[in-house]
Amino acid sequence: NAGVTQTPKFQVLKTGQSMTLQCAQDMNHNSMYWYRQDPGMGLRLIYYSASEGTTDKGEVPNGYNVSRLNKREFSLRLESAAPSQTSVYFCASSGQGATEKLFFGSGTQLSVL
């Protein structure tokens, strides 16, 4: 049982490049989330999907887009990467609602030069 799987684990981009972070969960959870973690800022919610077919903005959505491809998969896209998007990104899922226990992936460390 893999839980929440994120790819890639590391990525270096040049300013202006695009990329998609992939996330999949095998726990049949309805809700999925994308967070970024920065030193001194804690975890900040970028986007979330309460159920298949729905997505909503979190605290810091600018510069990102998401796709809830199906119940298992929730991807995060950076259309034109900026140095301010250098961060560690975490995908998470929850089977009991947005404010209940979250299961996290192992993270993607992204550097934008």
The answer to whether the beta carbons of residues 76 and 66 sit under 8 Å apart is: yes
- Of the pair 14, 42, the CB lying nearest another protein is at 42
Residues that bind another protein (CB under 8 A): 4, 33, 40-45, 48, 50, 56, 58-59, 90, 92, 98-107
Q: Compute the distance between CA of residue 15 and CA of residue 52 in angstroms, rounded to an integer.
A: 32
Give the nearest distance from C-beta 43 to another protein in angstroms. 4
Give the nearest distance from C-beta 15 to another protein in angstroms. 25
In whole angstroms, how far apart are CA 110 and each of 2, 52, 66? 22, 27, 17
- Of the pair 82, 98, the CB lying nearest another protein is at 98
Pairing relationship of beta strands 103-104 and 87-94 according to DSSP bridges: antiparallel
- Of the pair 14, 39, the CB lying nearest another protein is at 39
